[in-house]
Amino acid sequence: MKKVTILLSAAIVLLMSCNTKQKVDEKSKEPAKKNILFILADDYGYNDLSYRNDSFYETPNIDRIAKEGTVFNNGYAACQVCSPSRASIMNGKFPARHGITDWIGAREGEKWREKKRFSKLMPAKYKHSLSHKDVTLPEALKAAGYATFFAGKWHLGEKGSWPEDHGFDVNKGGWDAGGPRGGYFSPYKNDNLKDGKDGENLSMRLAKETVNFMKENKDNRFFAYLSFYAVHGKIQTTKDKWAKYRKKAEKNGIAETSFKMKKFLPMRETQDNPIYAGLVESMDDAVGEVLKGLEDLGLAENTIVVFTSDNGGVSAGDSNSTSNLPLRGGKGYQYEGGIKEPYFIKVPWIKKRIKENNTPVTGTDFYPTLLDLVGLKLKPKEHLDGVSLLPLLTGGTIKERPLIWHYPHYGNQGGEPSSVIRKGDWKFIHYYEDGRGELFNLKNDEAEIHEISKENQEIASALKTELFNYLKEVGANYPEKDPTYNAALEAAYLQKTATKRLESLEKQRMSYLSPDFDPKNDWWGSFQTID
């Protein structure tokens, strides 16, 4: 009997040992060294990829990230223009809190009058560089032993506030400018990026610099931040790509007109711009280069890949590149077309991933999410307006919270000085010109066609109160009335815009779509600005 007891005890110990080993093996599926590849596009619209719109654009590599990762269908940028949302990715704070509420270089206060738009308000003052007081995402990762790399567009301050001043070990091409000053082909006219051979593609160059960094650090943990200048204006492409997408536009049927006048500017309502589509494909080619680099280096299984954009597609002002329909508005606008983005996160070691999630999430969430995913402690005193999305990636939920946008500016694209709150399915917009409010239920009305504040006064009032309590708490700046405002001058400006500018835009669009289109120089100089 004693021998049986001993054998039974040994069997139990062996079984427990096996179970323990299984748990260890199960846990060991997570790699010891977890890397991060963060890909940020510029001015890239929610529907400007074949994952959602295969009738015109071709983006197989970006689509791959979406298909192999988790798609956040209600993923947002933290602002409708670039610098504020880029800062929010770095510090996990909404723009109203960190103070960069407009793109750095935009006119503020009385200087707005220089635009000669004769507006009712003078835009609010804003901060012109990323604060050194904040511990940024790259600084947090660097402190944990990560090699950090930046390539592409920065636009978060002048020298002294460049990527290398905020936690990046290497900087390839990040500096003051928000657009590609030399265009998308070398020479680049970029103080922090050496020129390649004439005609070298900028997006591909940035991708190759990223692959080189990953190769040099394949045995280390790394954070590679690839921040494309694409698809910011001026939009450019090659003759071959222009011809390809011109034929696609023709096959789809070319509408007689595309632009409709909105409050301040005409807005594009068709996706048939062959120059822009060619630029999109070139960016996708560069994404493919980096993904291939991960595979060739044997790093694909232990590298998180993020893809997103800093604001909506440009449908008015600037390069008038695209339409965000059925979403309303575009870059610079308070509507969904200005703030809703492609928002994909791929974590290779999460095998039972959630393919799509409808929870509203935003750019401030990347900071805590990435720390969480690589096993680092969160920094709640830093990423004050962000939460970890790890529960959503694995089938869980997060607590409902308000998302806040504060843009007390006019901008270049025709948006209005406003503040926005989204909570659950409800979205409330406050306008500073006249104090009016708009309420939408995004579950029932994603296109924001039906304004329903009168039917839901209690909801509108509660959201407005919550919005302004937050703005007061963080010490937000506001626009002020312009004492020199002249309604007749503004009306004359708007009338000219609604006629001459709209006519010029339609003429330019048809020239791009003409079989005889010739930019009369190298093809990468193919864009012309409409004044």
Domains of the chain, each with CATH number or no CATH: 33-399+486-524 (3.40.720.10)
The DSSP code sequence of 398-440 is -----EEEEE-S--SSS--SEEEEEETTEEEEEETTT--EEEE
List CB contacts of 433: < 8 A, sequence separation 6 or more: 120, 121, 416, 417
- Mean pLDDT, the chain, rounded, equals 92
Per-residue model confidence as pLDDT tens digits over 61-88: 999 999 999 999 999 999 999 999 999 9
On the question of pLDDT at 18 being above 60, the answer is no
Two tokens, residue 118: 């004769």
DSSP conformational letter for 487:
H
- What is the radius of gyration, based on Cα positions, of the chain? 25
On the question of pLDDT at 331 being above 70, the answer is yes
Q: What is the pTM of this model?
A: 0.92
Between the CA atoms of 53, 341, 419 and 476, what dihedral angle is there, to the nearest 10 degrees? -160
List CB contacts of 405: < 8 A, sequence separation 6 or more: 78, 79, 80, 94, 95, 334, 339, 418, 419, 420, 421
Identify the pLDDT of residue 524.
56
Burial 472-508 (b: 16+ CB within 10 A, else e): eebebbebeebeeeeeeeeeebbeebbeebbeebeeb
Crossing angle of helices 274-296 and 202-216, in 10° steps, is 10
Identify the pLDDT of residue 526.
45
Per-residue model confidence as pLDDT tens digits over 104-148: 999 999 999 999 999 999 999 999 999 999 999 999 999 999 999
Q: What is the mean pLDDT of residues 207-217?
A: 98
Identify the pLDDT of residue 59.
98
Per-residue model confidence as pLDDT tens digits over 427-459: 999 999 999 999 999 999 999 999 999 999 999
Q: How far apart are CA 446 and CA 325, in angstroms?
A: 10
Angle at 98 between CA 37 and CA 265, to 5 degrees: 85
Two tokens, residue 382: 């830093």
**What is the number of H-type helices and E-type strands within the chain?**
14, 18
Confidence of residue 523 (pLDDT cuts 50, 70, 90): low
Identify the pLDDT of residue 53.
86
pLDDT above 90: percentage of residues in the chain: 89
On the question of pLDDT at 24 being above 50, the answer is no
Contact 127, 98 (CB under 8 A): yes
Per-residue model confidence as pLDDT tens digits over 336-353: 999 999 999 999 999 888
Confidence of residue 411 (pLDDT cuts 50, 70, 90): confident
Identify the pLDDT of residue 230.
97
SS in 3 state form for 229-293? CCCCCCCCCCHHHHHHHHHHHHHHCCCCCCEEECCCCEEECCCCCHHHHHHHHHHHHHHHHHHHH
pLDDT above 70: percentage of residues in the chain: 92
Identify the pLDDT of residue 29.
79
Q: How far apart are CA 321 and CA 278, in angstroms?
A: 11
Distance of CA 428 to the CA centre of its chain: 22
Confidence of residue 198 (pLDDT cuts 50, 70, 90): confident
Q: What is the mean pLDDT of residues 235-257?
A: 95
Confidence of residue 531 (pLDDT cuts 50, 70, 90): very low
Confidence of residue 522 (pLDDT cuts 50, 70, 90): low
On the question of pLDDT at 528 being above 70, the answer is no
Two tokens, residue 456: 């839901």
Identify the pLDDT of residue 5.
41
Q: What is the mean pLDDT of residues 198-206?
A: 94
Per-residue model confidence as pLDDT tens digits over 154-190: 999 999 999 999 999 999 999 999 999 999 999 999 9
Identify the pLDDT of residue 270.
96
